Amino acid sequence: MNHRDPCALLPEEWEEIASIDFVRESWGLSDSSPGVELSASAHGARFGFVSGIAPGYVGDLYVIHGDSFAGPPMTFTKDAVGKIVPGPITDAA
């Protein structure tokens, strides 16, 4: 598989992303199974991000977008200890 091909998010990745406060608030997720709720109303993909400038693998990049084009997608990466955290914010103007 090409490193630029998107991969489906694992259930535990949906749960970890759904546990981030602003994601929970944005989607109005419940406390019982927020990852399942999020995955039912959003599209998500994980990329093994490889930089063409700095050599090699940089880390996982997660992209989540609601089931409408009402706003820009949310991006996430992993921090130094492997926890999924909000990624760079872009202006979709």
Domain, as residue range, for 55: 11-86
Q: pLDDT tens for residues 45-67?
A: 999 887 777 667 778 899 999 88
Mark residue 46 as left, alpha or beta (left: phi above 0; alpha: psi -120 to 50; beta: remaining).
beta
Q: Is residue 43 part of a domain?
A: yes
Q: Is residue 33 part of a domain?
A: yes
Q: Is residue 79 part of a domain?
A: yes
Q: Is residue 4 part of a domain?
A: no
pTM assigned to the model: 0.84
Q: Is residue 53 part of a domain?
A: yes
Q: Is residue 5 part of a domain?
A: no
Whole-number mean pLDDT of the chain?
Answer: 86
Q: Is residue 36 part of a domain?
A: yes
**68 phi and psi, to 5 degrees?**
-145, 170
**pLDDT surpasses 50 at 93:** no
Q: Is residue 91 part of a domain?
A: no
In percent, the amount of the chain with pLDDT more than 70 equals 89
Domain count, the chain: 1
Name the pLDDT band for 80 (thresholds 50, 70, 90).
confident
